[in-house]
Amino acid sequence: MLDFSYFMGYYRSLAVLPPFASQLPRHANILPFRVTGFLLACFMVSCCQIEIGQAMPDTDFREKMRFSESSGDHTKLTTLKDGRKMFGAYQFSAPRLKDYKDDTGEDFSEEDFLSDMSLQDRVMDWHERDVIGYAMDFGLDQYIGKDIGGVPVDMPAMIAMAHIGGRKGMRDFIQSDGKSDASDQFKTRISDYGKKFSGVDPYSLTPMRPQARPQGLLDMSPRPQMRPQPQPQPQGLLNVMQPAPAQRMRPRNRGSLI
């Protein structure tokens, strides 16, 4: 069964204006850009089958987020100075997990969450869709392609800024032209995550480059020395470079005058 809500959530991000839209004249027709996003989302629905309850395939964005938050450790549990706890590979807070439970009706314990990476990916699916919907509802797509507080604004940057500063913190940063730039207890600012994740692919995973062939596969044993063979000399040069052998002179007869 297809999870249409997943694709419709991403349709909303695909249907935003392109980065150069801010440079278009005010009377320019922007409808084709949004229609293109809708058609692309429909194509994804028709070609891909994702079961409800399954997470989408991995992406560059998620891979980078996991490494940034927990070095990829899905069992990581962090307790902050104020007593709040952050869970899993993406370091979700307890209130954010409650938002997921309330919205989806799914229930699980903290232990279940830390032991189940597929569950964490499902929460990340929902989290990204939720941030995208929030950004569209507040018209933040109009800022895509602009530089705010040193952040090239795009959808990955918005999701990352909301991940560290909350949806409201992300919106305040954008609408204040970068003046509202809160930080966490590790002194990481909202703008830091915006710069870090801007331009990172949120839809696919870049394939790894093939590694160099191990040296053990090469034959490193010394080869036996071959007896030097005489080099053939070109024909025609031998007679030119070497003098012809001297001919024996026939002895003259003693009685001859010659």
| pLDDT single digits (tens) 178-220 | 999 999 888 999 999 999 999 999 888 887 665 555 555 555 5
Q: Nearest to residue 77, comparing CAs of 59, 61, 97, 60?
A: 97
What is the C-alpha separation between 21 and 146, in angstroms, rounded?
10
Which residues lie across from 78 on neighbouring strands?
A: 86
Contact 10, 129 (CB under 8 A): yes
Q: Is pTM, for the whole model, over 0.75?
A: no
Question: Regarding predicted confidence, which is higher, 219 or 248?
Answer: 248
What is the C-alpha separation between 26 and 14, in angstroms, rounded?
21
Domain boundaries, the chain: 55-197
Q: Which amino acid is at 166?
A: G
Helices (H) and strands (E) in the chain, counts: 9, 5
Q: What share of the chain is helix, strand, coil (3-state, %, to 5)?
A: 50, 5, 45
What is the C-alpha separation between 251 and 152, in angstroms, rounded?
108
